[in-house]
Chains A and B, each alone.
Chain A
Amino acid sequence: MSDETLPEGPAVQTRGLSKRFGGQTVLDGIDLSVPRGSVFGFLGPNGSGKTTTIRILLGLASATSGDVEVLGRKIPRFLPEVLPRVGALVEGPGFYPFLSGRANLHRLDAADRFVDPSTRRARTAQALERVGLSQAADKKVGAYSLGMKQRLGIANALLTHRDLIVLDEPTNGLDPQGTREVRHLVHSLTAEGTTVFVSSHLLAEVEQICSHVAVLRAGKLVAQGELSELRAAGQTRVEVLTPDGADCRQVLTRLGLTPQEPTPSHHTPGGSDVAVGAPLPEHFPPETIVAALVAAGVRVKGFTVDQVGLEELFVSLTGEGFDVVQ
């Protein structure tokens, strides 16, 4: 094999990726595009198809239809070329309980024909150090806690330099300290030029570390893009609490806003107050609205400006509640 590097282009690209198990459609036409060097958050509720997608990216499962490229190469055809450059934590850690953490990493490293066996010892020690497991390296994995196993799983993904690291629910079972460490780790990986693909059902986790996000719902991709774009797409809204609903709408319309139908306010139950909401255009100074309302004689009982958070966006995209969709 020559010293060639893999072609440029997105770290992961799928077109129309679908997967059916029996009669059930688990993934339905996913078009995923993960830019190189990004920290890509793959969000979705439990059962939305995140792990299935990851399995297909890594060649563990086959797609029913659609194209998959990882690091610019078609999967599954070029898996032997691509996988040595990919580190992964898939659906929780998996280790031999009767071996120590270190011996487990040696075993998995020995399975990779493309790494240098003479540096194995140093590389495993370094990976264990990075996830804070040096002290427990020689304990049997059977005696590890879930969090320690999770750390070991991450260490396995770091055994050698990777161009892409896939972390499926990396903070599962980790304490807050461990979660913070994972965040630092991800930052340091990006600094080395590695693309990091993180799946999670926790928005907060993704919001803090990711540059890009995709949201999966019931096997369909419902949003994808830079985190800042998605945030911006979340509208700013104003809401006026007033007894004079009709007048208020008139004033807002005159100002160039598009007010919605007044809704009975839940702040003053039984009263005659209504809430009039309207999306606020960019660079529109909200204080001028109040001035205009007062000048027109509209009685203003309350005025709020709200940013629709990523949280609301996530919930609106994926649906509320604990119901597993499939």
Chain B
Amino acid sequence: MSNNDPAHSIGRRPATGLVFMASELSILFRRRRTWALLLALAAIPVLIAVAVRLTSGPPTGRGPAFLDQITQNGLFVAVAAITVAIPLFLPLTVGVVAGDTIAGEASTGTLRYLLVAPVGRGRLLAVKFAGAVVFCLAATLAVVLAGTLIGAVLFPVGPVTLLSGDTVSIGESLLRSALICAYVTVSLTGLCAVGLFISTLTDVPVGAMAATVVISVVSQVVGQLPQLELLHPWLLSHYWFGFVDLLRQPIEWSSFAANALLQSGYVLVFGALAYGRFTTRDVLA
């Protein structure tokens, strides 16, 4: 009976998760909210560059790192902007997206329909996490691309002098920028996992978003307290500024590796917590 229906294709090999992943990304990037977040991030380097340009540069040694190099080389706008964005703005936007993952679906009532569609609960978590990580990459790219562009427009561009004192070509420095994007994206995956877990605890997305952002702030505050030094290597934010090691010659990869290891630890632990919670709870929203 049912198998005569061409639209009905049970018995057909199930599709890979890619179709649903594509749907998830298209939903994420069709939301106006996502674009507002990305635009806000892109505004950071623009603000910095314009401010520095109008005031003909701060005296060296003051303000955020790399700020004093901007007037000599526009390519430093991106790095300065990333430095400014890492402690608050990036975690804020990532917190919004990661905190919204499950709780957002619950609050619109779409969660029950996705589960009945059916999307397995584990698969839904995996796709939601992957979507949040893609957003981290987009967020980082927004800062770095906008920074590079505005820097090239407002300031002279030339070979870049690295922290180690060596000079690399413009092409090489763009490659380093791409590496910084990768580093910062990896830095934020742990926060994505934390946000995903918190998002499985509630049906109120704003609560999950706020809690995720608070955790990133607490992590950084604890990181500032010498009395809690014992905890520092385990903090989510411990290696967040380690990206500067990518601006040495030769590249200092150890912080990249340590960061990746720490973040995957967070992904494993909070991923497991999210799975444990989400696969056993009743979906009542």
Q: Which residues of A contact B (CB under 8 A)?
A: 1-5, 55, 58-62, 79-80, 83-86, 88, 90-99, 106-117, 119, 122-123, 156, 160-161, 163, 193
Contacts and interface: CB of A to CB of B under 8 A. Distances in A.
B3 A123 contact: no
A119 B6 contact: yes
Interface in B87-132: 108-120
B32 A79 contact: no
B19 interface: yes
A309 to B, nearest CB: 36
B171 to A, nearest CB: 40
Contacts of B114: 108, 111
11 contacts: A3-B11, A5-B3, A61-B282, A86-B116, A95-B109, A106-B23, A107-B27, A112-B118, A115-B7, A161-B7, A163-B2
A26 B80 CA distance: 58
Contacts of A97: 108
B283 interface: yes
B109 A92 contact: yes
B31 interface: yes
A55 B27 contact: no
Interface size class of B (residues with CB under 8 A): 35 or more
Contacts of A106: 23
B25 to A, nearest CB: 11
Contacts of A62: 280, 282
Nearest to A156: B113
B217 to A, nearest CB: 29
Contacts of A93: 109
Nearest to A4: B11
Contact of B20 (A55, A110, A123): A110
Given A92-B109, A119-B6, 4 more contacts: A61-B284, A91-B112, A114-B14, A116-B12
A4 B3 CA distance: 10
A90 B116 contact: yes
A197 to B, nearest CB: 13
Contacts of A110: 19-20, 22-23
A250 B3 CA distance: 66
Contact of B108 (A5, A90, A96): A96
Contacts of A85: 2, 10
Contacts of B10: 1, 84-85, 114
